[in-house]
Chain A
Amino acid sequence: MAARTRGSGFPQADTSGAAAEPPGWWLGSGSSEVFLPEETRAAAPVDFLQELPSYQSALRRRAAAGGTQERRTAPQGSAGLRAAEARGPEQEGGELGVRPAREYPLSIAEKRRLRDCQQADIKYLSGWKQWKRTSSKSLKKVLNEAKELSSYLELWRHDIRSIEGKFGTGIQSYFSFLRFLVLLNFIIFILMFSFVTLPTIISEYGIFNSSFAKIPPKNIEPHCTVYKPSGNKGLVYFYTYLKDLLSGTGFLEVTSLFYGYYTIDAAWLSILRYNLPLAYLLATFAYLALSLLWIIKRSGEGFKQNLVHDEDQFQSYCNKVFAGWDFCITDPNAAQLKHRSLQYELQTDLEEERLKRKIADRTMKEKLRIYSLRIFINIIVIAVLSGCFYSIYRATVFSQENSNDVSNTNFQANLLVQYLPSMVITLANFIAPQIFSFLIRFEDYSPAFEIRLTLMRCIFVRLANIGVLLFSLWSQISYCATDKCKACGYNYELYPCWESEVGQEMYKLMIFDFIIILAVTLFIDFPRKLLVTHCSCKPVQWCGLQEFGISDNVLEIIYGQTICWIGTFFSPLLPAIATIKYFIIFYVKKISLMHTRKPAARPVRASSSNFFFLVVLLIGLVLAFIPLGISIAHIPSSKACGPFRSFNTSWAVVPDTILGFPTGLQQVLHSIASEAFAVPFFMVICLVMFYFIALAGAHKRVVEQLREQLVMVRFDPVFCTPKVFFVLSVIRHAEEQQFS
């Protein structure tokens, strides 16, 4: 191909062996060359690009699917489909047809012809390739069948689809999230049940020739080991059962629901020794690790996008416009709402952009005023938070002191005192967000940032409240005045089995949370709907129905899930209760949504919702690690009940087991935990991280430079279109390298 020159000094098309020339690809350099894709099969282009792994894979792809370019340009001109139709058969006749027919954007008739050609070509392939092709085809078929079958097992498939059709993908993502939590809790329950509860029950009842051993702990003061739970005392009033059911005391305390039941040191199933304490601890670590890995796997996509690109992907205009319409909406009313919310969203974003420009023009005096106002408001926020925490602390202390003193006669008062911490927490979770959304108006942020900051504050309030409750419980439990008490390490008189106490508190929190959700739906949502439908006076109509606030609902269930994670160590059957609770909540929320709510004015997008839910869930999980870590490793385990009687702390069972290993293994484990290993390991990890950061930076620079080149390339119209496609595919591969 002859070189083409342009009078205005545009880059020359270089024909021969461009590989021999040094890379002249950059703007402003002396001899700039632009390579031609048609010739790259024969002569490789500039050296630098040759080295790009993305270029290599782009070459491989082009060789494999040579007809792709032509098909992509098919829409030019009005005979789109038919043009491809004409070109299709000749194109595919000679190639290997690596992709199955259905992945080509053609009509079914054309795909049929394409497939016929691919089949015809099989005859000309060698036997090995033929076999490979047919076996991969049958494998794909089997996988498809398996996928179809497994889709039947999906829980609530039809319900979620109908919600999606009526309300869009934002609200549907909430219900998918709920389904995910049901599954997660079910798996955690299976884990704890099969490794902790089942062996205990088997050995207690002597099934399969099993037995158990209760080794009395040595070196422990006898007064620490006294534990007499009330259990069933024969004839009692009926309401005692109700009270016990609601607060986890009485007959419920001695069941396998709570930690105190597992007072077994070793179980024997015929001749195998089952180390229950170790199993208990390891099952705890296992369910935490499982939750962490599953959440990270689910949020993988969102993280990748956010880390690699600078611009906020969820806020980009292209995302809002090109992926703005939910094609699955079937209800005309919902479509109308969607139109309005899209209009609102676009207008708000454009407004925000104009606002940002205005903000950049602020004077120094204004900035000073605004920053001092923000500091003042943050101080108020901190004051509100401290108020919440203090009230929870006092309520917990009061509840603990009085529930141990009062007699069983006044049923309601006793129940009230038992549930006082839960009620205070729920009240704080309700009031604090209202205060925050009121205060944020004065801080003069952009609307999107306002929403995010309020959300962050609400998340913090909800999760920190649980932490404060646990902290106040512990301060009560480990408060030691006498020497006798110090010998045990905890307050043995009031809390002979303190883990069961903590388990009971978590149980109460969970039950109360569930009751509140049901009560709000029954006693607030439905009457409100009845009022709005039948009463036509002005203030009622102005109030209207409540919106389905996704973030509020999500925070609610994440709060419940954090309680479950913390509580499972103290109450192994708690995940079962959580599973049932979320199962019922799905239906309650669905009915409430369909009948009593109006959809939110500001639309929530599915992808950003999913990402947000999983990030907050992760925060909850990480916050759950802290109290569990302190309980397991720091606070002395109770000596009167539980599998860790003979150990100092719950964690002590692990070093104990390691001492029982053969010496070689012990030495290996000790060396892994020592500094001589940890420091070099840490340094290697840092080096690897720096390497990947540098690689990502280099790819980013290449992407930028290629983008600049594309603008230049546009002025070469004869070669323009294929070149643009090719370079764009190289850019895309470079970006994909950044992902990995």
Chain B
Amino acid sequence: MPVSPARVARGAEGGAAGRARPGARRCHGSGRVTCEAEAARAAMGGSASLLPREALCEYQELTFLSKQEILLAYKRFSELLPKEERENACSARVPKSQILTLPELRANPFQHRICRVFSTSYDGDDSMSFEDFLDMLSVFSDSATSDIKSHYAFRIFDFDDDGTLDRKDLEKLVNCLTGQGEESRLSNMEMEQLIQNILEESDIDKDGTINLSEFQHVISRSPDFASSFKIVL
């Protein structure tokens, strides 16, 4: 059920509170031109469900995606919606089960964590709006900075959301990597040895957990991270 117009309005209020805004200029403007304009246009039964140009420019500015990539993302996102909601694709929310049918996420062992991290749904049902979807693609794109990528990687790997990677998180991480079946897990001894090695390499303050700084530090020295932490539609 699309919740968005209310949410967007709430966000707009929060943003507008106590701040002088320069006049809305095309592409540089800070006007609320994105979803409300599109929703209004759709409500008037106007043009086909394309992304308005101002919204495209704004998304280009706020994410690392190129024009082509944003348009492709819009197309794929609207395909996930049922036909009647496609007009309001910009403001609709797609339930998690639908998002997981995307081929890019279908085979990914971290699919649930990705949905949890990028979803801004207040209901906790991990549904994603178009902007969440764009955020996700932006972080996973080629041009995202490694700071951003490592920040979000940390959040994805932090299974219990407590801000550090402790032994349990690492164990779940390794199990995600090796597969879900019983025979594909490492034995207890191997898991212990592996976690010990990981902590030795990355835990600088020796407190038994990896915090965000240590994680970003170890990722900066990892040559494979940039090429593997990538999703392209």
Which residues of A approach B to under 8 Å, CB–CB?
Answer: 72-73, 75-78, 80-81, 89, 93, 100-103, 105, 107-109, 111-113, 115-117, 119-120, 122-123, 137, 144, 147-148, 151, 161, 169, 301-302, 305, 309, 311, 313-314, 316-319, 321-332, 334-336, 339-340, 342-343, 346-347, 350, 353, 605-608, 611, 707, 710-711, 713-714, 721, 724-725, 728-729, 731-732, 735
Q: How far is the CA of A76 from the CA of B160 in the complex (A)?
A: 11
Which residue among B60, B109, B158, B194 has the maximum number of chain A CB atoms within 10 Å of its CB?
B194
When the two chains form their complex, are residues B66 and A317 in contact, meaning their CB atoms are under 8 A apart?
no
When the two chains form their complex, are residues B201 and A316 in contact, meaning their CB atoms are under 8 A apart?
yes
When the two chains form their complex, are residues B132 and A107 in contact, meaning their CB atoms are under 8 A apart?
yes
Given A113-B14, A346-B190, A606-B228, 15 other A-B residues pairs in contact with their CB atoms under 8 A: A76-B163, A100-B61, A108-B131, A119-B22, A120-B19, A302-B223, A314-B224, A318-B198, A322-B153, A322-B157, A322-B219, A323-B219, A325-B176, A350-B193, A735-B221
Name A80's contact: one of B8, B161, B213 (CB within 8 Å). B161
Minimum CB–CB distance for B11 against chain A, Å: 5
Q: 17 A-B pairs, CB-CB below 8 angstroms? A: A75-B155, A108-B132, A109-B8, A109-B120, A112-B11, A120-B22, A144-B66, A317-B194, A319-B222, A321-B177, A328-B228, A330-B106, A332-B106, A336-B179, A608-B224, A711-B204, A728-B217
Minimum CB–CB distance for A705 against chain B, Å: 13
B197 at the interface (CB under 8 A from A): yes
- Residues 200-212 of B, flagged 1 when their CB comes within 8 A of A and 0 if not, give 0110111100011
Minimum CB–CB distance for A345 against chain B, Å: 10
Minimum CB–CB distance for B8 against chain A, Å: 8
Contacts of B47 in A (CB 8 A): none
Q: Which of B36-44, B74-82, B134-142 contacts A (4 or more CB under 8 A)?
A: B134-142
Q: How far is the CA of A327 from the CA of B144 in the complex (A)?
A: 15
Q: A-B pairs with the 4 shortest C-beta distances?
A: A339-B179, A76-B163, A335-B107, A607-B223
Name B205's contact: one of A123, A326, A724 (CB within 8 Å). A724
When the two chains form their complex, are residues B178 and A346 in contact, meaning their CB atoms are under 8 A apart?
yes
Q: How far is the CA of A711 from the CA of B58 in the complex (A)?
A: 45
Nearest CB in chain A to that of B176: its residue: A325
Contacts of A111 in B (CB 8 A): 62
Count A/B pairs, Cβ under 8 Å. Answer: 237
Interface residue ranges of B58-95 to A (CB < 8 Å): 58-64, 66-68
The interface size bin for chain B is: 35 or more
Given contacts A314-B223, A334-B107, contact A77 B19 (CB under 8 A): no
B112 at the interface (CB under 8 A from A): no
B100 at the interface (CB under 8 A from A): no
Contacts of B28 in A (CB 8 A): 119, 137
- Residues 148-180 of B, flagged 1 when their CB comes within 8 A of A and 0 if not, give 100111110110011100000010011011110
When the two chains form their complex, are residues B132 and A340 in contact, meaning their CB atoms are under 8 A apart?
no
Given contacts A75-B212, A115-B62, contact A325 B22 (CB under 8 A): no
When the two chains form their complex, are residues A342 and B178 in contact, meaning their CB atoms are under 8 A apart?
yes
Contacts of B145 in A (CB 8 A): 103
Name B174's contact: one of A76, A314, A327, A346 (CB within 8 Å). A346
Contacts of B107 in A (CB 8 A): 329-332, 334-335
Name B228's contact: one of A144, A309, A323, A332 (CB within 8 Å). A323
Name B222's contact: one of A120, A122, A322, A343 (CB within 8 Å). A322
Nearest CB in chain A to that of B132: its residue: A107
Minimum CB–CB distance for A107 against chain B, Å: 5
Given contacts A301-B223, A305-B221, A318-B222, contact A328 B230 (CB under 8 A): yes
Interface residue ranges of B107-121 to A (CB < 8 Å): 107-110, 120
Minimum CB–CB distance for A722 against chain B, Å: 10
When the two chains form their complex, are residues A319 and B110 in contact, meaning their CB atoms are under 8 A apart?
no
Contacts of A324 in B (CB 8 A): 177, 224, 228
Minimum CB–CB distance for B53 against chain A, Å: 15
Q: How far is the CA of A361 from the CA of B54 in the complex (A)?
A: 69
Minimum CB–CB distance for B113 against chain A, Å: 12
Q: How far is the CA of A101 from the CA of B107 in the complex (A)?
A: 32
When the two chains form their complex, are residues B62 and A710 in contact, meaning their CB atoms are under 8 A apart?
no
Name B104's contact: one of A103, A330, A336, A608 (CB within 8 Å). A330
Contacts of B30 in A (CB 8 A): 112, 115-116, 119
B186 at the interface (CB under 8 A from A): yes
Q: How far is the CA of A724 from the CA of B140 in the complex (A)?
A: 28
Q: How far is the CA of A116 from the CA of B17 in the complex (A)?
A: 12
Nearest CB in chain A to that of B225: its residue: A323
Minimum CB–CB distance for B130 against chain A, Å: 9
Minimum CB–CB distance for A612 against chain B, Å: 12
When the two chains form their complex, are residues A73 and B62 in contact, meaning their CB atoms are under 8 A apart?
no
Q: How far is the CA of A335 from the CA of B170 in the complex (A)?
A: 20
When the two chains form their complex, are residues A117 and B186 in contact, meaning their CB atoms are under 8 A apart?
no
Which residues of B approach A to under 8 Å, CB–CB?
Answer: 8, 11, 14-15, 19-22, 28, 30, 58-64, 66-68, 103-104, 106-110, 120, 131-132, 134-135, 138, 140, 145, 147-148, 151-155, 157-158, 161-163, 170, 173-174, 176-179, 184, 186, 190, 193-194, 197-198, 201-202, 204-207, 211-215, 217-225, 227-232
Given contacts A108-B62, A119-B30, contact A714 B206 (CB under 8 A): yes
When the two chains form their complex, are residues B155 and A148 in contact, meaning their CB atoms are under 8 A apart?
no
Nearest CB in chain A to that of B104: its residue: A330
Minimum CB–CB distance for A520 against chain B, Å: 30
Q: How far is the CA of A77 from the CA of B163 in the complex (A)?
A: 7
Nearest CB in chain B to that of A344: its residue: B178
Given contacts A316-B201, A329-B107, contact A81 B15 (CB under 8 A): no
Q: How far is the CA of A618 from the CA of B85 in the complex (A)?
A: 57
Given contacts A144-B66, A725-B213, contact A322 B174 (CB under 8 A): no
Q: How far is the CA of A77 from the CA of B225 in the complex (A)?
A: 27
When the two chains form their complex, are residues A711 and B190 in contact, meaning their CB atoms are under 8 A apart?
no
Q: How far is the CA of A77 from the CA of B186 in the complex (A)?
A: 31
Minimum CB–CB distance for A481 against chain B, Å: 58
Q: How far is the CA of A381 from the CA of B106 in the complex (A)?
A: 49
When the two chains form their complex, are residues A325 and B217 in contact, meaning their CB atoms are under 8 A apart?
no
Nearest CB in chain B to that of A305: its residue: B223
When the two chains form their complex, are residues B22 and A710 in contact, meaning their CB atoms are under 8 A apart?
no
Q: How far is the CA of A689 from the CA of B91 in the complex (A)?
A: 60
Given contacts A117-B19, A731-B217, contact A321 B206 (CB under 8 A): no
Contacts of A73 in B (CB 8 A): 163, 212
Name A711's contact: one of B66, B104, B157, B206 (CB within 8 Å). B206
Name B221's contact: one of A313, A329, A336, A711 (CB within 8 Å). A313
Given contacts A75-B154, A327-B108, A331-B107, contact A339 B178 (CB under 8 A): yes
Q: How far is the CA of A213 from the CA of B28 in the complex (A)?
A: 65
When the two chains form their complex, are residues A102 and B62 in contact, meaning their CB atoms are under 8 A apart?
yes
Q: How far is the CA of A100 from the CA of B143 in the complex (A)?
A: 14
Name A109's contact: one of B131, B176, B193, B211 (CB within 8 Å). B131
When the two chains form their complex, are residues B205 and A710 in contact, meaning their CB atoms are under 8 A apart?
yes
Contacts of B63 in A (CB 8 A): 102, 108
When the two chains form their complex, are residues B201 and A318 in contact, meaning their CB atoms are under 8 A apart?
yes
Minimum CB–CB distance for B155 against chain A, Å: 6
Given contacts A103-B145, A321-B174, contact A714 B163 (CB under 8 A): no
When the two chains form their complex, are residues B158 and A75 in contact, meaning their CB atoms are under 8 A apart?
yes
Q: How far is the CA of A319 from the CA of B198 in the complex (A)?
A: 9
When the two chains form their complex, are residues A339 and B177 in contact, meaning their CB atoms are under 8 A apart?
yes
Which residue among A81, A93, A112, A735 has the maximum number of chain B CB atoms within 10 Å of its CB?
A112
Given contacts A323-B228, A327-B140, A606-B228, contact A102 B64 (CB under 8 A): yes
Which residue among B15, B162, B184 has the maximum number of chain A CB atoms within 10 Å of its CB?
B15
Given contacts A334-B107, A346-B186, contact A325 B177 (CB under 8 A): yes
Q: How far is the CA of A729 from the CA of B103 in the complex (A)?
A: 38
Q: How far is the CA of A144 from the CA of B64 in the complex (A)?
A: 10
Minimum CB–CB distance for B122 against chain A, Å: 9
When the two chains form their complex, are residues B194 and A346 in contact, meaning their CB atoms are under 8 A apart?
yes
